[in-house]
């Protein structure tokens, strides 16, 4: 976790008069004239650095690490511009990133990070009003008066993704206005930390000509069109992921109504056509599973071995056309997600029985749960890839990909559907120009309902039409999805809730780029609902605001607390999380909560050596405790603690909801520090504490010797006493400091 360096950021001493009332006047004028880029002189590296130093202060000790110019075709935002990307670093302390327009010298993007070595808490927190004032002042420094005359009031319009940045600080957005019509997504975004320092700046400004609002349909007609054809999707969504609050545990997917990019949700203002965020005509999509088979639940807790995985791979190969023979293993690996459960996988190679060429080889990947997670034809061919001619059509590629999925995953076709999204002509042309494979996407279903972002892809060779790879391996945590059917409201009721929360109005819209965009899209006018970003909970019909959920991640109960600084540090590092605005500093910690905290602490680079390497092929078991079902919030964290040997694989029960004792905390921390081999040797230690049982002596003595976790008195450790979250935060901060 990084913190921002002190530089030119404005402090809380900003005058309260510099607020919304003194924001730039909004003129009723056309958009700025397009900037002429052709044949313009590019800034040299030295000139770009001078411009950067004009906009931001580079603190003493920071050295220029890199300076790289990107061409228009390399720009992630498809702006058609060239940029200088500059990076300054100071040892391991922090980094400063500045992006400068290579022609005009304008500040385009800026971010400032400093390692969390500074501890102090901030008593005078930044209010939203103060943030707006500080952001307004900074904007005057880095933009022109002409640009500022075309902006909304601060935070008058919410950004579509502002809630993603609220963990970083206070977000202030200035939206571009054209003749009093908002151009959503265009303008400036500024993020300030809680002390008032500007830590991030982003400029998004379309240079081209914008259409005038002279031939638009009436708003009443547009609203009627929306009512008839707009169609929010019913999906399972990971709500904890929207606020990064993964300590809520797995199984956080909930059934919701919300607009996906491909859903009909905008009304084209001149034609009245209902379109999606890609700018394409759209209608309510029909989800059709590829079959009716459902994967079976298995009570088996033993994880399979490499030999057993090979046998499964041999069974999968038999589902392919032709005959294959085993040709060895090409390795494997492991991964784990935010919850911490590790998953191991192996790769097995097969060659055609008749010999064949090396390019005919296929690779099958199986994980330790016995699941197929990958398939590839000619796995080594990626390193000698040659451009492919575009011979088959997209529809033919979809047919080929679907055929492969039906062959290999025939036991779960009722949980898979084809995502039918044909790319634009421009994107297809980009495929052809670059000789790339078609990427066909498939989605996952639970009870016939899509699970958001649980997709996998199949790559199809555009020359031969052969589906050459399937990748189901996700880097994210294996979420435990709901199995029982949930009663939910109808779509029309969900649309009524959206109408209550947002306002229907005219706005400029720049289509969302496809996953592989060929060029920047041209904006046009639409009617749409604008306002608070969120979704409708399908079971209750309640509005769930992403911004309000993020606000609840800021603690309201630690101001002036003796351990405020340590608690804030624990939050910044991600060791603890806030629920409904409460961190509960004096709340006693349960065993399950401590497992969650330790699972996060173990991700620090100083403790990564604890991660199991799985070098050997020994049998592995999922060590389940009888009182920790997979639905328990701390289930994944407890599994990670067992794998990392922070808790022992003993006993039938874990008692996750019982308050943890000081002796148990000492044992877990001693294991974190690598003292496992000493914890069963009390005879080696002479403890000053007279109230310890033999099994508690090693850990308590070791931590006391390190000045980390001392007794309540010179002779009493009080091993059975409980601990508070504030005490745990203080302990973890001391551990972190010593490790540094």
pLDDT digits (tens, 9 = 90+) for 586-627: 999 999 999 999 999 998 888 888 877 655 555 566 677 899
Q: What is the pTM of this model?
A: 0.83
Run of H or E residues at 615: none
Q: 599 phi and psi, to 5 degrees? A: -65, -35
* Stated length of the chain: 740
Please name the residue that has the structure tokens 């302390």: 93
Task: Judge contact between 590 and 658, C-beta under 8 A.
Answer: yes
Q: How far apart are CA 11 and CA 600, in angstroms?
A: 32
**pLDDT for position 391:** 86
Q: How far apart are CA 603 and CA 597, in angstroms?
A: 10
CA separation, residue 327 to residues 330, 331, 336, 377 (Å)? 9, 12, 29, 14
SS3 447: coil
Run of H or E residues at 413: none
C-alpha of 702 from chain center: 38
Run of H or E residues at 41: none
**pLDDT for position 346:** 92
**pLDDT for position 721:** 97
Run of H or E residues at 302: strand 302-303
Task: Judge contact between 390 and 432, C-beta under 8 A.
Answer: yes
Q: How far apart are CA 720 and CA 704, in angstroms?
A: 16
Angle at 19 between CA 17 and CA 21, to 5 degrees: 90
**CB under 8 Å to 168, separation ≥6 — which residues?**
191, 193, 199, 200
**pLDDT for position 19:** 39
- Strand segments (E) across 571-614: none
**pLDDT for position 247:** 56
The low-confidence residues of the chain, meaning pLDDT below 50, are: 1-38, 117-120, 250-251, 475-479
């Amino acid at each position: 976790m990084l913190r921002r360096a002190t530089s030119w950021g404005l402090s809380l001493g900003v005058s309260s008069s510099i607020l919304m009332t003194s924001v730039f006047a909004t003129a009723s004028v056309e958009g700025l004239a397009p900037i002429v880029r052709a044949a313009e002189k590019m800034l040299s590296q030295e000139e770009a650095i001078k411009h950067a130093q004009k906009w931001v202060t580079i603190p003493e000790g920071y050295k220029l690490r890199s300076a790289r110019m990107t061409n228009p075709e390399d720009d992630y935002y498809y702006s058609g511009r060239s940029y200088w990307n500059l990076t300054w670093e100071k040892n391991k302390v922090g980094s400063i990133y500045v992006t400068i327009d290579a022609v005009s010298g304008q500040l385009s993007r800026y971010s400032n990070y400093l390692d969390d070595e500074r501890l102090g808490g901030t008593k005078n927190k930044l209010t939203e009003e103060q943030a707006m004032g500080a952001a307004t002042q900074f904007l005057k420094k880095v933009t022109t008066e002409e640009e500022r005359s075309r902006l909304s009031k601060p935070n008058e319009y919410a950004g579509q993704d502002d809630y993603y940045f609220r963990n970083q600080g206070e977000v202030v957005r200035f939206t571009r206005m054209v003749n009093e019509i908002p151009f959503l997504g265009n303008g400036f975004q500024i993020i300030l930390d809680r002390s008032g320092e500007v830590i991030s700046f982003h400029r998004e400004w379309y240079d081209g000509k914008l259409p005038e609002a002279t031939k638009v349909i009436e708003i009443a007609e547009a609203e009627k069109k929306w009512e008839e054809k707009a169609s929010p999707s019913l999906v399972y969504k990971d709500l904890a992921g929207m606020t990064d609050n993964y300590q809520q545990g797995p199984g956080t997917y909930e059934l919701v109504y919300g607009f996906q990019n491909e859903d009909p949700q905008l009304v084209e203002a001149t034609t009245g056509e209902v379109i999606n965020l890609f700018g394409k005509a759209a209608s309510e999509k029909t989800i059709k599973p590829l079959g009716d088979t459902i994967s079976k639940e298995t009570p088996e807790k033993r994880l399979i071995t490499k030999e057993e995985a090979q046998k499964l791979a041999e069974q999968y190969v038999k589902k392919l056309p032709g005959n294959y023979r085993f040709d060895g293993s090409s390795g494997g690996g492991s991964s784990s997600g935010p919850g911490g459960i590790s998953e191991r996988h192996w790769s097995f190679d097969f060659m055609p029985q008749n010999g064949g060429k090396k390019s005919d080889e296929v690779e099958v990947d199986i994980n330790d749960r016995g699941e197929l997670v990958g398939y590839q034809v000619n796995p080594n061919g990626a390193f000698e890839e040659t451009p492919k001619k575009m011979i088959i059509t997209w529809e033919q590629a979809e047919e080929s990909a679907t055929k492969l999925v039906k062959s290999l995953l025939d036991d779960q076709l009722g949980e898979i559907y084809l995502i039918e999204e044909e790319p634009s002509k421009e994107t297809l042309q980009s495929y052809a120009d670059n000789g790339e494979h078609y990427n066909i996407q498939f989605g996952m279903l639970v009870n016939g309902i899509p699970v958001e972002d649980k997709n996998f892809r199949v790559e199809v060779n555009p020359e031969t039409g052969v589906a050459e790879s399937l990748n189901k391996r996700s880097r994210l945590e294996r979420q435990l999805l709901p199995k029982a059917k949930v009663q939910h409201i109808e779509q029309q009721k969900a649309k009524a809730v959206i109408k209550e929360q947002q306002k229907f109005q005219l706005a400029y819209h720049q289509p969302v780029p496809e996953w592989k965009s060929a060029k920047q899209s041209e904006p046009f006018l639409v009617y749409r609902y604008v306002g608070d970003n969120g979704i409708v909970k399908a079971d209750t019909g309640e509005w769930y605001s992403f911004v309000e959920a993020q606000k609840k991640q800021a603690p309201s109960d630690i101001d002036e607390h003796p351990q405020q600084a340590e608690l804030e540090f624990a939050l910044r590092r991600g060791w603890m999380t806030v629920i409904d605005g409460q961190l509960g500093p004096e709340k006693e910690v349960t065993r399950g909560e401590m497992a969650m905290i330790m699972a996060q602490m173990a991700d620090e680079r100083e403790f990564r050596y604890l991660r199991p390497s799985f070098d050997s092929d020994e049998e592995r078991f999922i060590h389940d405790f009888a009182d920790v079902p997979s639905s328990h919030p701390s289930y994944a964290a407890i599994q990670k603690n067992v794998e990392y040997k922070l808790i022992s694989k003993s006993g039938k029960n874990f008692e996750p909801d019982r308050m943890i004792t000081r002796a148990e905390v000492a044992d877990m921390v001693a294991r974190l520090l690598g003292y496992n081999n000493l914890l069963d040797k009390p005879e080696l230690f002479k403890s000053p504490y007279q109230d310890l049982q033999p099994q508690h002596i090693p850990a308590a003595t070791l931590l006391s010797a390190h000045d980390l976790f001392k007794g309540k008195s010179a002779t009493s450790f009080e091993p059975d006493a409980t601990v508070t979250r504030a005490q745990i935060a203080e302990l973890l901060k001391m551990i972190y400091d010593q490790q540094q």
